[in-house]
Structure 1
């Protein structure tokens, strides 16, 4: 840890050096204009917790990323990996490896998007042009949002109707590998009542053979806003058709990285979500509530294994809450209290092929019901110090019934809790120090409970968090450096060591630790620089599995370093050039919990470039991603039965080109 402390000290020293260089910078009005929802109620950005990253619609429009996972990797300082050929890449905050999706909570307008299975979070279902902003809160979000937030919380806030506006916009683009992308959005609103709708259509053959994707999304928002409150109905629907290319072994990666050994494999997904949001103010008390529904039908066919499965799920969420703001005992305070009620039902059938799904050879039926109460208090205890206290108690009841080879009928109920205490202190004008201690939890998914080493349902994973850091703000210049430490008990994980061929289990204690630096600087009026450095470590503290002592060994699939750098130039003639670099460090291969494999996954550096020019009402853009034509992969596995060599991986595309034209209609 001493190395991390030294790193943070150097980061703080850097901010001290650059402070006098830009001391004359003027305050950026947008810093206090962005509304965020870290407290599940709107608040000014400068009132939000230090350490939050906000990605705006303007940031999204300027980026070369064409999907939400790519965008998060470039601007959010987190890691994404492709371990299936699916555009919904795995998202990983703070080094959880293959369970990154299960430890990074993704919300859409405050409603959970993660499902209670091991499927990747369906980020591709959110049209980029429907996003108003993305809020990333690193570290636990368990007090406000419950389980699965040990790495952090990503809240995607979608656009609503803009009062008094009647306009629309459209984008069409084409690119490498027969890629076609069309997007639209429309706003129709008066002063009180309005509607916003957006949609997108994507088709691409992709880099790999048998990896064609077709994705259609639509999202809408209808709302009424009065002087004291508002009511909104948000909806979304998505359809995905995807071919699955499978892994490539080392010989195939060298000779034919684009090829496939699974030409008949494919998957489909259809999903819907509907959310009713209401808010009303009564003096210094705000009341709010969300009623959310989501469903999904997902299928997958693996012809070479004669395996087809069809899964249906339904989820319902009710979240009433209140916020009181006032002065108690001379201390300005805000208290948030709420209840979360959730039900989730799952039904999966297995057969040899799609035609025989009516007579499945195995089934899985599962349900999860949870109820939670949470409180969060923010108090201005001193003029320069803000104290935050939070507590959550939750009861979770799981039921799992399986037929076929792993036939069982099990149920259990658990009551995990989460808490936090945080302090934010203004040390001097422009300088703020922050610290937080907290606990979080995660409940096993239906897939994890369906195949365990013990044969019984898994216990909840628990974690203890420590975060400390320093932030400097001077107008547009922002520098933030922080250290974190996460100690986990009963971590839920698939281990190949516990039984022959592996199974899901509760691990002996594990630990994540790291250092993070984020910076943004307007060097001149027309030139901005931003970037991040993340150093992270994930270790087994102790434990012996299958006779293998894993004490002090690395958790696989956790890059030791993540670095990003972005430069944006505003050029004459209403043009903009954006250049970006992203470095992902070395990491252990999946399946190598014993750290017995001699090699690490190679590090890689990606460079992207986007040039945009506005001519009248038209905006023309040209993008080159992976401009250096780097051959790389973001996921690799060792000792897999599917491989003829020790290593298998999913090769990623080299240099790609994309061009688009966009026009507003007013």
Structure 2
């Protein structure tokens, strides 16, 4: 732990190389603007209804881990399409989830584009309470790190589905905040397609990427390669990334199968955290000038799906390897992690007695292990899990479009850990079991208004990193359970869609870093006293004219202790309010423009469990914009991030300290060629 400040828990390790024995850093307008945006949608609705040909996109989604019948789209989900990604000039998957999906993101500590994504206000443990899935394969790590979404070629994405709230029945551990499901493009009827993209900009931004796909009868091959470099906003924060993705698949009448390889190489330099006084004097300064690290990630996937009589079958088999290296104050360390996943499942979709019925059953088998090589740790950790689930949904043929669904899941975990040179020497071998359930229902009170409700139980288990530093040595943390409740209403006339929902998560044994726990002076990971996350969300989108679209997302969340010495106190690193809005202009002459704004409320510093710090992380508002023009197969665009050059930060792990400033203004120019 040399060269690391107390209370900051070596924040850079959030992505790179957190030692198993130590906790790493967990890793927009005010009320008047909220009201104005809501009134804009409501006032415009009658006008939209007069233009029935100007309809919003229709999408088929995968709420049941299968391509669903349009009548069984997941209740209350947000879907981002490939067209929306292209129109907004999005360069990576993480950015699409934040800018279009309205998900609050906390900037990476290492300068990578993989922000920490926070569904439902989980602050420092947001990544561990959100499951990210790519084509059925779980990307969420069994470490205190964010999923490496930068390895997914943005041009390969067909859609991104965001389901907020407890989803452990289908997705298991860590799905209390919700699930982000990324679906890549399937083979098209066209013979081939390709794209070349290049971008340069301020802060040393340089990016080149290309993709190609070719179909011959039933066989499709695709490949994508990209290289990105940036100096980033702060000193000593250079970032470099090279990625490759390629696949082959065969598709028949009732069968599809294929293989895929995705590989990413990342190199970063770490500027370290600064105090509030240093931030106000010069937010671009670096505290550490010689710290650096790298991540090599490789993922291999095989998949198959088909139909046997009236039953759909599907399965994925994946293997992922990640090697993370870092050097702090001249002290090198390395972590090697491997994960295997096998996920078979089946579905029967049929109609009888005027009802549409979908029943899904499946299993998830995951094996994960890690080895640390450092002066302070030679830890080895292993985890095996096996889960079985079943879910049934009924849609009744009635004018009210009545739907009801219920599901259950049982999952067991075997965990093994030892470290011959830890402090103190630690070892454990435990087995834990968890159950999840949910019940959902919806119906149309009138043809364009749908009411829905969800209730259930979700869970999360502590990662190897978290169990490596607990208040009592060799005593792993208990599993976290959450009782989830959501009530919502949707108005959709094909021109305007508004989705409003209230939610509550009552958690027992929430897993979190407590700076006051343990005897080492560094704090410890612990099971908190009972907590509650509750709030309100509003999603809205509309076509306001033939060439104009507007969308927005608002979230209010209050996360507090409900028992114990901190009863009534707020949890840390969770803004009470976030608001994002986008306006898009897409005329028929090849031009397009996209303008976005985000406002984030103030939040507690990371160590302020007792709510005694005399300051909070300040609120901030940022703006971004893009203008593009097509010339045949070419598209040229200018893009601006943080237009007003706002000085702000979202990561701060001690009172008025442990601060990692966010990026200032950045102007970029890009060119794209489609063939």
Q: TM-score, normalised by structure 1?
A: 0.92
| Structure 2: stretches of 5+ with no match in the other structure | 1-32
Q: Give 1:508's match in structure 2, choosing from 495, 519, 529.
A: 529
What does residue 20 of structure 2 align with?
none
CA distance in 1, matches of 2:663, 2:38: 37
The alignment status of 1:339 with 2:363, answered yes or no, reads yes
The alignment status of 1:618 with 2:634, answered yes or no, reads yes
The Cα of 1:16 is off from its aligned counterpart by 6.2
The superposition leaves residues 7-56 of structure 1 with CA deviations (integer Å, 9 ceiling, x where unpaired) of 99999998765543322342777644x33211010024553123111111
What does residue 332 of structure 2 align with?
308
**1:634/1:650 contact within 8 Å kept:** yes
CA distance in 1, matches of 2:235, 2:186: 39
What does residue 47 of structure 1 align with?
72
Counting only pairs closer than 5 Å after superposition, residues 218-617 of structure 1 correspond to structure 2 as: 218-303=244-329, 306-327=330-351, 331-351=355-375, 361-381=376-396, 383=398, 384-404=401-421, 405-455=423-473, 456-500=475-519, 501=521, 502-543=523-564, 549-571=565-587, 573-617=589-633
CA distance in 1, matches of 2:261, 2:254: 24
The Cα of 1:94 is off from its aligned counterpart by 0.4
**2:354/2:396 contact within 8 Å kept:** no
The Cα of 1:63 is off from its aligned counterpart by 1.9
What does residue 546 of structure 1 align with?
none
Residues 307 and 608 of structure 1, relative CA distance in 2, 3 Å threshold: same
Paired residue secondary structure (2:277)? helix
**2:222/2:248 contact within 8 Å kept:** yes
What does residue 11 of structure 2 align with?
none
CA distance in 2, matches of 1:393, 1:11: 43
Paired residue secondary structure (1:60)? helix
CA distance in 2, matches of 1:130, 1:83: 24
| Structure 1: stretches of 5+ with no match in the other structure | 1-6, 352-360, 544-548, 640-645
Q: Give 2:81's match in structure 1, choosing from 56, 65, 80.
A: 56
Residues 562 and 27 of structure 1, relative CA distance in 2, 3 Å threshold: farther
Residues 574 and 23 of structure 1, relative CA distance in 2, 3 Å threshold: same
Kindly tell me the number of residue pairs found equivalent between the two proteins: 636
Residues 13 and 621 of structure 1, relative CA distance in 2, 3 Å threshold: closer
The Cα of 1:310 is off from its aligned counterpart by 0.5
The Cα of 1:77 is off from its aligned counterpart by 1.9
What does residue 8 of structure 2 align with?
none
**2:116/2:146 contact within 8 Å kept:** yes
The Cα of 1:122 is off from its aligned counterpart by 1.3
The Cα of 1:284 is off from its aligned counterpart by 2.2
CA distance in 1, matches of 2:596, 2:458: 34
**1:85/1:650 contact within 8 Å kept:** no
Residues 101 and 538 of structure 1, relative CA distance in 2, 3 Å threshold: same
The Cα of 1:493 is off from its aligned counterpart by 0.8
Paired residue secondary structure (1:555)? coil
What does residue 29 of structure 2 align with?
none
CA distance in 1, matches of 2:405, 2:35: 25
What does residue 3 of structure 2 align with?
none
Moved over 4 A (4+): 7-18, 27-31
**1:219/1:237 contact within 8 Å kept:** yes
CA distance in 2, matches of 1:487, 1:328: 38
The superposition leaves residues 600-650 of structure 1 with CA deviations (integer Å, 9 ceiling, x where unpaired) of 1101100111000001221000011111111111111224xxxxxx42311
Paired residue secondary structure (1:262)? coil
Q: Give 1:217's match in structure 2, choosing from 243, 248, 264.
A: 243
Q: Quick check: 381-390 or 517-526, which moved more?
A: 381-390
**2:383/2:413 contact within 8 Å kept:** yes
